[in-house]
Structure 1
Amino acid sequence: MTGGETAMAMVERGQELALLEALLASAVMGRGRVALVGGAVATGKSTLLHTFAEQAIELGALAVTATGSPLERDIPLGVLRQLVEDAPLVPQERERALSLLDEGVRAVTSGDGPDDRQLDAQLVSAICGVLLDLSERCPLVLVVDDVHHADRASLLCLAYLARRVRLAQIVLAFGHADQAWYTDAYFQTELLRQPHCRRVKLTRLSRAGVAAIAAERLGDRAAERLADELYAHSGGNPLLVTALTEDYAEAARTTHEAPSAVVTGEQYGQAVLACLERGDPRVARVAQGLAVLGDPAALDRLLGLPATDVHRDLHALGATGLTALGTFRHEAARQAILAAMDAGERVELHRRAAELAYGAGASPGVVARHLLEAGRVDAPWGVEILQEAARSALRSGQVDAAVGYLRLASCACADESQRAKIMTMLVRAEWRINPAAPAGRLTQLAEAMQRGSLRGGDAVVLARALLWHGRVDDAREVLDHVQEPGVATGHEALAELLVARLWLRAAYPPFLATLRDTAGEDALAGIVSVSASRRLESALALAEVLTQGPREEHADTVERILEGSGLDEMSMDTIENSLLTLVYAGRAGRAAPWCDLFGAEASARQAPSRRARLAAIRAEICIRQGDMPGAARHARTALETIPVGGWGVAVGGPLSSLILAHTAMGRYEAVREHLDVPVPEAMFQTRYGLHYLHARGRHSLATGYFALALRDFQRCGDLMREWDLDTPGLIPWRADAAEACLRMGQVQEARELLRAQLDGEVPDDLRGRGIALRLLAATLEPAERPALLRRATQSLQAAGDGYELARTLTDLVGTFEALGEYRRARTVAARARAVSAECGAGTPAVAASRTWDEAVPARPPAAEPVGALSDAERRVASLAAAGYTNREIATRLYITVSTVEQHLTRTYRKLGIARRADLPLVLEFGDQAAT
């Protein structure tokens, strides 16, 4: 041990060392002394004795040392032999001493001699005389560490020697662990009754002492920052403190930066085990039981020990610093003890702990944790307890624990029907982690269904899982089976079928015909819980939005469902249906904060499947808001959280958003990489396939493959009409097909598609209207385009789609340039560039079609006179600049046509213009147009 290490080890031990040095000074004067150095395990007794021995040598004394060991406790005179062998004896003395020790060993082991405590007095006197004679030549310090582990014959000799050193130049220093109840009480009693014996009591370090050790090892700043945490985790035990500083330093070296908190690593675990190994084996046993139970209740019954003994041993653990208030100071200590236990013994303790917990009426979660650790279920109540614990764990977001409980319950369950239910629960639980995980169980469930063990709602769960993984034939078979007489009985099962129909309607329309609408009022009667009611309402809202178009009541319904509910208070289907209802109803801006809220909760609860599905929805929201970088980021998160293979047919969702985003940003190489990803053929029988066709068509359109793009858009439209999902809120396929026709010169076909979309629109679909109006303007002469493009701009601004707004503004720039209105073109181009930059769009949205005269001023000269307009005049002039007729303006503002004409006349006079086309752009686009 170096000088620095010695100084650290002796923190808050100065007084004790000074007392031992004072005893040595008395011994030098011929007044021998005895010191019994006590304290809890690993509180620094050995270090203190070692330091004292080294200082004794420096002061001219002889230091002779020995150490007791539990492995050598049955070796007669083993500790005394260590002292003799360490003493600097001349050959004749050493030979005589060893001969005496051998004689003593024979006397103890022969069976003919007296009892250990009655070991021949002459023999004991002769052996001790060797050391007493040595002290006459030089002051002698005899140090025996861990004397509580010494053999009884050695203890007898040491007690004899302690009585004889009073007039000798000898200091006897014994290290003794407190709570070492198995030590021969005779030895302690004999020493403490001697007037020349002193007791030295070591306590655990204070917070200041812990900080001092940390400062030496980690530096002052880290020590001050970590002192409280180090003290809390170690209880002031020097061994534990040192281990924690070593773990911290190792973590800092590994990560190349200082951790923000205390690190409990390998050194800490080893130190915990060392504390137990140095103490009473029964204390270690109690520590193992405590590690299994987690708290001291029923510890005596678990271990089969008297309660008083357990209480005493718990006190010993607390004195060591391993526990506080009956529990381990850190979970890492508990885990280290469990890991070091014999596997069979650990399993048996957990089995007994489960029985005790069940008998005491503990919660299912407590009982189930012990059963899971035991790895088997012997009791008849075990399976039901595991199921109940799994339900509770799923409600609180502890998915991994629930999966463990259900797997064990499935293995232990002998009833086939019950096992099928358990496996259904397991599929749902594993789905939250990774949808690919339960794929291997689907065949088993299908076989259970054929045997009649899987019925009602559980069979619907199986069908949904099969559809997700593209096993359409198997799914049809299950859906057919579930409608057979006697399979789906009871209100709850019928309600599950009703929700399943709505789910198929929105996501897997071709399979809707497979599931007949036979639920009726009996199914509604089965909606007895709030959760089930929310599932039904959200599924119904989504189905109606996709089939009938958006209405405000749909948005209000799902927001009421989402409000005030946590992620685990609702099924993921309820959340997904509600968010998609808002998205397809044109309320992407209202869906975004809800999606972010639930996404953050999914991350906090470590529910990767839910996090991925929410990220996919968030990507779709970003697409409709024109946030292309955000869409790409969220889509990547979804595909990284769940690999492509785990998405099944739903991979079309995030993959489509990624393709659309990269296409809009002009990253065509990245798009080709995503288009090369194999997708299930069954995907094209789902809503996700519609999104994929649309995204692939957009990429073909952007890269000049117009015919391929038109083919995808038309196929998308055919499926949407066939499935009765033909609403632009889902996919505006007619507008996209019209754009492809325009690129190929088929103007009339494009016009017909756009008129069809506009004729079928609903008032709330602002995004679809804006897209259609932009493209319809392209079918007209340049002079007729501005009015439509202005209206498209207003719709897209209200819808919040920055990308489509940028495209519309870019078209308006080209129109103004075609008309020779370069000042307008320049002003609108500036805004188009700004909007394009905000949404991360590529070249199609930012490049003007040609340059303009640099001499034209960037700001309209009439900006100042605009301020002279009254509010009423400004409102009328703004609508006129946007292309509305006088009658349309009168209708929107609830005034007469004559009033509109009067306002415009005064406006023309104030601004010094003669016609509507000369109205300043600040009135067309607001104040942003002038910047």
Structure 2
Amino acid sequence: MVKGVIERPAEFRAVAELLSCAERCPCALVIEGQAGVGKTTLWLEGVEAARERGFRVLSARAAQAETALAYATVADLLGDVDHEVIDGLPEVQRIAVDRVLLRADDAGPGTDQGVVAAAFTTALQRLIEDAPLLLALDDVQWLDPSSQAVVAFAARRLTGRVGLLLTERSEHEGEGAAGWLQLSTTDAAGRVHVGPLSLGGLHALVSARLGRTFPRPTMVRIAEISGGNPFYALELARAIEAGGSQSVLPATLAELMRQRIGRLEPETQVLLLAAASSAAPTLDLLARVTRNTPERTVELLDEAKTKGIITFEGDDVAFTHPLLARSVYTDASRRERRAMHRALAEEVDSPESRARHMAMAASSADATTLEALDEAAATAWTRGAPAAAAELLELAIGLGGDTPVRRIYAADQYLHAGDLPRAEKLLEGLTDRVARGVHRAMALNLLGAMRIHNNSFTQAVEMLEDALKNDGGDREVRVRTLLLLSYAQLNEGEFGKALQNVERAAAYAEDVGHNDLTAQVLAVRATIACMCGRGIDWPSVQRALVLQDPHSQAPIAFRPRANHALLLAWAGRLDEASQQMTVVRDRCVERGAETDLIFVAVFTALIEVWRGRYDEARRVATETVERAQQLGGEHMRVIAKVILSAVASYAGDEAQTREMAQRAIDLAHACGSPRLADWAAVSLGFLEVSMGRHEQAVQTLQPLIERFPFIPGTEIITVGYVPDAVEAMIALGRADDALQMIEALETNGRMVDRAWMLAIGARGRSMWLAAHGDVPAAVDMAQQALGHHEWLPMPFERARTLLLLGQLQRRQRQKDVARVTLTEALEVFESLGTPLWAKRARAELARLSTVSGGSLGLTASEQRVAELAATGMTTKDVAAALFISPKTVETNLSRIYRKLGIKTRAELGRVFGDGS
């Protein structure tokens, strides 16, 4: 038996196992049970055991009165962190911590919940470097929303030797810790249930705590009434010890505590009510609120302290158990509670606490209270606590201050806090009653942004078009609406409308005079214009970079630096793009923007694939899958699986490519975003081409092929599937069907001077010429393609062109030249780790060694067909390799069989060898 723990060996064993695990890797344990059952006792023993084992312990005990105070628990935890650790944080994180601890002004970059979470995580991670860390939280059902979000973030991100020990009431409302607490590992948090004590356990507990024993019949009665609840049992024992009779013991714990507290002096009861109504009671605060001297306050509270109701620690006052505080508060009349909150509002320093007390004291709206709540909400927002800001505004709304502005502001705060359901409820209530006007437009903008976040672009477009009709001439609202609308239309495939609306946004933005908003519009306009085939407006991009607010909380897709990185990648400046995307990623990490990191990861992985850095792309993809699983949301999981599928296709992992792509497609359709499935189709199409399965490739890419004529530009981001579609169609004898794509790449490549378009267009033209029998012209065009590749750091695509050139050189019987070309292609494929393409290059090299058929009476064309067929290739494969139709292959084979006097391909293989 461990000191302080009565008959809890199994439960404490779970705590000990947590500490052992935390000495190696992240672990968590939630101790759950009913109020008063002994969770905190077990938790305290765990904290003490951790210290004895050399853990650094950060602990906090949440209180019910703190549930609405922003970062109350996080502030307690950070208050125990060394100043050197806090001072060593990045500036934006250090400022965030200072604001949480209420020791900073409004100067410096903006703070949001993500920055606070990142700062908290960074600080903890640095502590872990010196010793194992235990993060111990008691009564997490009362964590304020901001603290809960920060702790959840840290749990997902912390690595190394760290443990989380939490207690939680099993009967509380809302989501439990098991729902919001996830670790950086895949392991879920452990749970241990603390149940009632046995009769023997209660006897031992009462003996240890009260220093006396009771007769067995008395203990049986105590056990019956308390149901084995240790706290209830102790209160019953105290009642008997104070002179009560077991035959008249109260039947409920609430009644028992009411009797116990009711025996105190009335002045003492007023002080206890003040303590129960305050989030952080102190002797000084209680004295001021009750108009007592500090000495008189201590004197009045001494009896409550002696009876085990409260404790003092320095100036701080605390109830020995939360149930006692709850009993004091609920037993007071409504008039008494309001009067106490009114008195506290006059004495507390925090604007947030003062506003909340004023709200609790009010029965209806008054201008002073509403103004205080508005100011407190603004303060909470500055501190990076959007959930607290939203709740303060909802208090104002509930008191009768229900205005459109407050609803919109509150919904915006909930949106930033990640609570989309509550934001949507507020906004829908507004749009239902406001039929027209700028407030309707503002509400629809927020609703549209939420739809965009969930990839529901069609619904977003409908809402934003409605918003445009209701902006009332407000230029800023109009610009924001047009910006959102253009982005939604772009993702719907409405390129022309998207460009038109972002151009309108740019025209209005200059008049608004909001630099960061102008920067967003310029950046998005440059990106949309590029995707529409207009090239890249670099001057506008540079102006956007100058005007941007580096601490803007705008969506990542609207930020100039992120758009700059994308445009660099599409322009073929991949090394610069990678560097810029790293800067964007570092800022996201610094600010704790986890959702933004998904966006960054998608394009980072694409850039690394284009650069031929598949290991790095795979690392990013794996990290993205883990983050998507932690954050939840079907759309994020779709994106994560698409990235894995793309990387696997280049690595030649057929099973994983198909599995991840199919999961992405199924999820995309299930969550109502079928366009997300296009990305998976591109990976599957590439895999089929890599395996020489051209018919399957065309089937997979057919929806994209059909959409091609309606896409205004041919940037790599919009038509990255074209190289595979062109090769597959030509291989199937549909060379002329591929001509539109080839010509578009050639024309657009010259117009916007894009190396990727020129190289891929020239390669496609080379295939088309070869399919029409003009091999010399095809060779010349392939060599032109290689010239364009010199300006394009995409080694895989260059090797793919080398493979084509080697094939054409072999057809011209330039065996030595072809061998050099194909060897170079093979070396690149092998160095990149693309086995399917390395296999193709080796097969082409092998064909250079097949026997000559000239002496057998075969023509040059028959010779080539015979060599390939002898290797075991199918008719379609041979046709694809020689850029002729399958029917032509069959005709040649018939003549070859007749000339050689054979009837099967097996005999043909014996004549020419296996080509290996």
> Is 370-379 or 738-747 further displaced after alignment?
370-379
CA contact (8 A) 2:457 2:488 kept: no
For residues 824-863 of structure 1, the aligned pairs below 5 Å read 824-825=820-821, 827-829=823-825, 831-837=827-833, 841-844=834-837, 847-850=840-843
Q: Find the counterpart in structure 2 of residue 745 from structure 1.
A: 733
1:489 and 2:473 matched: yes
1:341 and 2:325 matched: yes
- Going from structure 1 to structure 2, the CA distance change for 1:845 and 1:602 (only over 3 Å counts) comes to same
Q: Find the counterpart in structure 2 of residue 535 from structure 1.
A: 520
Q: Find the counterpart in structure 2 of residue 465 from structure 1.
A: 450
CA distance in structure 1 between the aligned counterparts of 2:597 and 2:687, rounded to whole angstroms:
28
Q: 1:714 aligns with which of 705, 709, 714?
A: 705
CA distance in structure 2 between the aligned counterparts of 1:767 and 1:389, rounded to whole angstroms:
54
Q: CA deviation at 1:824?
A: 1.9
CA distance in structure 1 between the aligned counterparts of 2:590 and 2:673, rounded to whole angstroms:
31
CA contact (8 A) 1:802 1:835 kept: no
For residues 360-439 of structure 1, the aligned pairs below 5 Å read 364-367=351-354, 380-381=367-368, 385-386=372-373, 389-390=376-377, 393-394=380-381, 397-405=384-392, 408=395, 411-412=398-399, 414-418=401-405, 420-422=407-409, 424-426=411-413, 428-430=415-417, 433=418, 438=423
Q: Find the counterpart in structure 1 of residue 21 from structure 2.
A: none
Q: Find the counterpart in structure 2 of residue 154 from structure 1.
A: none
Q: Find the counterpart in structure 2 of residue 662 from structure 1.
A: 648
Q: Find the counterpart in structure 2 of residue 30 from structure 1.
A: none
Aligned length: 607
Q: Secondary structure at the match of 1:463?
A: helix
Partner deviation per Cα, 1:603-652 (whole Å, 9 max, x = no partner): 565554334344344444444444342463355246425545456xxx87
Q: CA deviation at 1:757?
A: 0.5
Q: CA deviation at 1:473?
A: 7.1
- Going from structure 1 to structure 2, the CA distance change for 1:715 and 1:365 (only over 3 Å counts) comes to farther
Unaligned stretches of 5+ residues in structure 1: 6-212, 235-244, 329-333, 857-931
Amino acid at match of 2:745: Q
Q: Secondary structure at the match of 2:746?
A: helix
- Going from structure 1 to structure 2, the CA distance change for 1:248 and 1:624 (only over 3 Å counts) comes to closer
Q: Secondary structure at the match of 1:454?
A: helix
Q: Find the counterpart in structure 1 of residue 902 from structure 2.
A: none
For residues 724-739 of structure 1, the aligned pairs below 5 Å read 725-732=713-720, 734-739=722-727
CA distance in structure 1 between the aligned counterparts of 2:624 and 2:295, rounded to whole angstroms:
61
CA distance in structure 2 between the aligned counterparts of 1:248 and 1:450, rounded to whole angstroms:
54
Q: Secondary structure at the match of 2:669?
A: coil
1:674 and 2:660 matched: no
Amino acid at match of 2:625: R
Q: CA deviation at 1:714?
A: 2.0
Q: Secondary structure at the match of 1:537?
A: helix
Q: Find the counterpart in structure 2 of residue 632 from structure 1.
A: 621
Q: 1:454 aligns with which of 421, 426, 439?
A: 439
CA distance in structure 2 between the aligned counterparts of 1:452 and 1:298, rounded to whole angstroms:
48
- Going from structure 1 to structure 2, the CA distance change for 1:260 and 1:591 (only over 3 Å counts) comes to same
Amino acid at match of 1:544: A
CA contact (8 A) 2:374 2:393 kept: yes
For residues 27-106 of structure 1, the aligned pairs below 5 Å read none
CA contact (8 A) 2:438 2:474 kept: no
CA distance in structure 1 between the aligned counterparts of 2:598 and 2:327, rounded to whole angstroms:
38
CA contact (8 A) 1:286 1:313 kept: no
> Is 258-267 or 467-476 further displaced after alignment?
258-267
Give the fraction of aligned pairs with identical amino acids, expressed as a percent.
15
1:499 and 2:483 matched: yes
Q: CA deviation at 1:327?
A: 6.2
- Going from structure 1 to structure 2, the CA distance change for 1:853 and 1:437 (only over 3 Å counts) comes to same
CA contact (8 A) 1:729 1:768 kept: no
Amino acid at match of 1:673: R
- Going from structure 1 to structure 2, the CA distance change for 1:475 and 1:768 (only over 3 Å counts) comes to same
CA distance in structure 2 between the aligned counterparts of 1:285 and 1:459, rounded to whole angstroms:
48
Partner deviation per Cα, 1:485-520 (whole Å, 9 max, x = no partner): x64333322332443454345434549759979968
Q: Secondary structure at the match of 2:473?
A: coil
Amino acid at match of 1:768: M
CA distance in structure 2 between the aligned counterparts of 1:297 and 1:853, rounded to whole angstroms:
91
Partner deviation per Cα, 1:664-715 (whole Å, 9 max, x = no partner): 333333123332324279746x7x5765664564456555413324522323
CA distance in structure 1 between the aligned counterparts of 2:797 and 2:52, rounded to whole angstroms:
59
Partner deviation per Cα, 1:714-733 (whole Å, 9 max, x = no partner): 23313423xxx554453345
Unaligned stretches of 5+ residues in structure 2: 6-44, 60-75, 82-130, 138-154, 169-193, 195-204, 210-229, 239-260, 850-916
- Going from structure 1 to structure 2, the CA distance change for 1:471 and 1:2 (only over 3 Å counts) comes to closer
Q: Find the counterpart in structure 2 of residue 103 from structure 1.
A: none
Q: Secondary structure at the match of 1:293?
A: coil
Q: Which has the higher contact order (CA 8 A, sep 6+)?
A: 2
Q: Find the counterpart in structure 2 of residue 770 from structure 1.
A: 759
CA distance in structure 2 between the aligned counterparts of 1:423 and 1:812, rounded to whole angstroms:
63
Larger Rg: 1
CA contact (8 A) 1:445 1:462 kept: no
Partner deviation per Cα, 1:410-436 (whole Å, 9 max, x = no partner): 555543524542454256325xx3767
Partner deviation per Cα, 1:54-98 (whole Å, 9 max, x = no partner): xxxxxxxxxxxxxxxxxxxxxxxxxxxxxxxxxxxxxxxxxxxxx
- Going from structure 1 to structure 2, the CA distance change for 1:673 and 1:570 (only over 3 Å counts) comes to closer
Q: CA deviation at 1:835?
A: 3.8
Partner deviation per Cα, 1:467-495 (whole Å, 9 max, x = no partner): 655767765654454344x6433332233
Q: CA deviation at 1:754?
A: 1.9
- Going from structure 1 to structure 2, the CA distance change for 1:405 and 1:537 (only over 3 Å counts) comes to farther
TM-score w.r.t. the length of structure 2 is 0.52
Partner deviation per Cα, 1:352-378 (whole Å, 9 max, x = no partner): 897568657956545567689999986
Q: Find the counterpart in structure 2 of residue 884 from structure 1.
A: none
CA contact (8 A) 2:468 2:478 kept: no
CA distance in structure 2 between the aligned counterparts of 1:220 and 1:457, rounded to whole angstroms:
56
Partner deviation per Cα, 1:14-63 (whole Å, 9 max, x = no partner): xxxxxxxxxxxxxxxxxxxxxxxxxxxxxxxxxxxxxxxxxxxxxxxxxx
Q: Secondary structure at the match of 1:566?
A: coil
Q: Secondary structure at the match of 1:760?
A: helix
Q: Find the counterpart in structure 2 of residue 300 from structure 1.
A: 287
Amino acid at match of 1:677: L
Q: Find the counterpart in structure 2 of residue 114 from structure 1.
A: none
1:759 and 2:747 matched: yes
Q: Find the counterpart in structure 1 of residue 598 from structure 2.
A: 612
Q: CA deviation at 1:760?
A: 1.0
Q: Find the counterpart in structure 2 of residue 46 from structure 1.
A: none
Amino acid at match of 1:844: W
Q: Secondary structure at the match of 1:679?
A: helix
Q: Secondary structure at the match of 2:279?
A: helix
